[in-house]
Structure 1
């Protein structure tokens, strides 16, 4: 009796968590499929560009590239600068109406660091991939949308756990992988649902768990700002606001490179932006291996004096976020891993779709059975 009660309890959890999150999970799987291959799709859809090849052994000074960007978008301020690893030699600069302006109003300049010429001023807030990304991340609802998707991810994980607890008792009498094709359509899809569910178990758990972590990115950023960043900039808490010309960005980057010779610069956050303080360049460096290239290490350079004031490893919760994002999209092993991710994604779509079908079919079967019982009751009553 205890076993029957336990199975019924797990069935209740599996049914309702699945029903609540299935529509949103279908959206995530459908939008996630092109996002797995976002680099390849963007490369295929890019217009042919006449990008200048390397013509010198050295690149143009970063300070010179900043002036080029500022001349392109006069009246705007530089917020971020990063090295484009997908297109070596390119520097991307983010320009905002102000240092704390919303990212949706930002403009972007891509400059060839060898020639010093502007390659492109892309509009990143439009197009098919941007739409897929926003639907996948927050359904165009900002932070509330992210957190809602995180809740759906938690329900998905509960549905997976409850499905595992149901699979054992159900399959005790059957062979693994059995599909009863000779029986009703509903039984065939039930067997298919169970088989694909257990086959995609590990993948679905990894993607679901990392997806939940990714929805907490804004929370993680806030914790880092109030924790480690506040500690690193504490000596400047009562310092006078910056005024006049800032120290050379080239000199600041070289100072960090000299300190971390085995790492390479990835992003520079300018003073006053959310990733830095009002008095520092925050220069984030990364490793060179597939794993360490996902983990960033912040170094703070006094933007007035050029002094390296602090450099630290990120807290574990930030590194967890850094590692989970590429793992969520299968972005660690090149095309082979992406293809595997895509196949599991398609299998999960089938699992979700078959789950919906089974629920509707079960309800229809129940309604039909009740209708037959009611008809029999009336017929018996008339005969009496």
Structure 2
């Protein structure tokens, strides 16, 4: 019974690993530069340098930035205003209408402003920065440049990686029972040494790989999980607000809505303001996304509904546990929550994982070659020789 169960685990480890190896190599290779995305973005950026105003210069009003955006594109609407909490910039997303964005995401574009002077820094003709190498790498990492279909493929790959990691730990014990942990046998074939290296690296990285695979799976499912929440709990909450949509001319100011949120929720950082009419809000509210300022709460976002006529905060929506877990776990995937030293550790683990994948594939190929050679030899031995009489 024990041998039968072990064979099942070996089978699971073999085929779950092989099924996801190629995709994992892609995600590991693209994930490596993403660990240092902040540094690479700064190094590769062609944006003009920020001006250096006097110390403690306040940020420009969001209403000034919104007015400048609408002046540049008078026949369009503002989809969202994103306030960067790391650098002094504010990004305004625009499109001809929300209907145009629902028909095609390519209808949207953005303008980046200096948050202190309200001067335009950069514009992009689409949602993605066409000149950003990191943005392209991120899309490859997230969906293989294949849209929602690519996300589902990588979600399956992440689940297979979890199975491969767990089964690898289970299989490792019995096979290494007579050896010390981490032993790499120098005698014997090169395949045996590769097997020991594969087992050593896999054993050392098992917990890290499990964390990265699980958080990667959650990240791939995040859009679907958010839609479930929006179409169930949020939809039910919003039922109590009804009436005709608010005209754009009646909108309360963007800056006023943000100020009211900051007054109601102290020690909060507002990072996004979405005006009424979006698919994420109601026709009567601004949707303001805020987060805490402490190390943990800075990863936890709260959606706040602000009355679009009066600017008063009317509801702070409570996000479900699975979205909270996603928010907390997301930094674990990229290792960007502990400064540069942790980033280098994540990078070394990533490179070692590539070695695990490569060695595993080599072992499978080498085993197949040995089997074919053994079969060929046995057939040759079984074939009778026909001599010629002299």
Q: In structure 1, what is the Cα distance between the partners aligned to 2:195 and 2:386? A: 39
What displacement does 1:329 show? 0.5
Match of 2:43 in 1: 44
The secondary structure found in structure 2 opposite 1:304 is coil
Aligned to 1:112: 114
For residues 74 and 244 of structure 1, the distance between their equivalents in structure 2, rounded to whole angstroms, comes to 13
Q: Deviations over 1:270-327 (max 9, x none)?
A: 2122332222101111111232111111110111232321113322121122222221
- SS of 2:98's partner is coil
Residues 106-145 of structure 1 aligned to structure 2 (within 5 Å): 106-122=108-124, 124-126=128-130, 127-145=132-150
The change in CA–CA distance for 1:111 and 1:82 in structure 2 (over 3 A counts) is same
How far the C-alpha of 1:68 sits from its partner, in A, is 0.8
Q: Residue 245 of structure 2 aligns with which residue?
A: 241
Q: Which runs of 5+ in 1 are unaligned?
A: none
Separation in 2, partners of 1:39, 1:306: 35
Name the structure 2 match of 1:22.
21
SS of 1:273's equivalent in the other structure is coil
Q: CA deviation at 1:148?
A: 1.4
- Structure 2 stretches of 5 or more lacking a match? none
Q: Which moved more, 1:124-133 or 1:295-304?
A: 124-133
Paired residues of 2:47 and 2:121 also in contact (CA < 8 A): no
Give yes or no for the alignment of 1:59 onto 2:64: no
2:295 corresponds to 1:290: yes
The answer to whether the Cα contact below 8 Å between 1:232 and 1:310 also exists between their aligned partners in 2 is: no
Match of 2:84 in 1: 84
Q: Output aligned runs, 1:168-207, within 5 Å.
A: 168-207=173-212
Ranges of 4+ aligned residues in structure 1 off by more than 4 Å: none
Q: 1:54 to 1:122 in 2, by over 3 A?
A: farther
Contact 1:143 1:218 in 2 (8 A): no
Cα separation, 1, equivalents of 2:294 and 2:224: 27
Aligned to 2:272: 267
TM-score (norm 2): 0.93
Q: Secondary structure at the match of 1:253?
A: helix
Count matched residues: 380
Structure 1 residues 105 and 188: alpha-carbon distance in aligned structure 2, compared to 1, 3 A threshold:
farther
* Cα separation, 2, equivalents of 1:207 and 1:137: 14
1:300 and 1:311 in contact (8 A); partners too: yes
- Once residues 201 and 162 of structure 2 are traced to their aligned partners in structure 1, the CA distance between those partners, rounded to angstroms, is 16
**Matched position secondary structure for 1:121:** strand
The Cα offsets for residues 92-124 of structure 1, whole Å up to 9 and x where unpaired, read as 111123225144432111112321211222463
CA shift at 1:235, angstroms? 1.7
1:72 aligns with 2:72: yes
**Distance in 1 separating the partners of 2:36 and 2:73:** 32
**Whole-angstrom CA distance in 1 between matches of 2:123 and 2:53:** 20
RMSD: 1.8
Q: Is 1:78–1:99's contact at 8 Å kept on the other side of the alignment?
A: no
- Any residues of structure 2 matched to 1:216-235 within 5 Å, and which? 216-235=221-240
Shift of 1:52: 1.8
Shift of the alpha carbon at 1:76? Answer: 2.2
Alpha carbons of 1:173 and 1:24: their partners in 2 closer, same or farther (altered >3 Å)? same
The more displaced of 33-42 and 299-308 is 299-308
How many angstroms apart in 2 are the aligned matches of 1:169 and 1:104? Answer: 54
TM-score of the pair, normalised by structure 1: 0.94
